[in-house]
Amino acid sequence: MHSKGLAGSDRKDLFIFPETPPLMHKPSPPSVSNTSSSNGY
């Protein structure tokens, strides 16, 4: 699992949490908004 690297992690994340990528990309939820503001993204 860890041997695969980022590529493996990314693919696994998408498979395990198919709703995580869209949520992270969309600044709709307050959780992401707060993190974005702090990170200054």
Kindly report, residue by residue over 32-41, the tens digit of the pLDDT.
555 555 555 4
Nearest to 36 by CA among 27, 9, 5, 18: 27
Predicted local distance difference test score (pLDDT) of residue 15: 56
Per residue in 1-41, pLDDT tens? 455 555 555 555 555 555 555 555 555 556 555 555 555 54
Q: Are 8 and 1 in contact (CB under 8 A)?
A: yes
Predicted local distance difference test score (pLDDT) of residue 28: 56
Predicted local distance difference test score (pLDDT) of residue 34: 54
